[in-house]
Amino acid sequence: MLRPIERVYAPLAEQLAARRAAGEWRVTLTFAAIEALIGRPLPATARAARRHRPWWRGQGNAPHAWYGWQRVGWWVETVDLATETVTFARPPGTE
């Protein structure tokens, strides 16, 4: 059974897993596209100024990052708060 946080971010993980399977190494998504995938608005901390960039990096206790992108082999390369986009990338040396 999926935990609530896992259920929320599972569709994002599935999208990124599919992109990985298609051989993509970098994916840029708008916040709106991510919200459409997860079926709810991103938390305020995802949209906040620089002090909340750790939300995207998955620092500390960050189950959203694990269930959303890290467990399927992606990391956040850049976040542009002005254009509300995030670029996910696969680490070098991954298949």
Question: pLDDT for 26-58, tens place per residue?
Answer: 999 999 999 999 999 998 888 776 555 777 877
Cα separations in angstroms, 66 against 11, 55, 62, 71, 83: 13, 11, 7, 5, 24
Identify whether 9 is part of a domain. Answer: yes
**Total residue length of the chain:** 95
Domain count, the chain: 1
Identify whether 18 is part of a domain. Answer: yes
Residue 13 has pLDDT above 70, yes or no: yes
| 75-80/85-89 β-pairing | antiparallel
Does residue 11 contact residue 19 with C-beta atoms inside 8 Å? no
Ranges of beta strands (E only) in 1-95 are 26-30, 75-80, 85-89
Identify whether 94 is part of a domain. Answer: no
Identify whether 29 is part of a domain. Answer: yes
Identify whether 64 is part of a domain. Answer: yes
Identify whether 39 is part of a domain. Answer: yes
Domain containing residue 66: 4-89
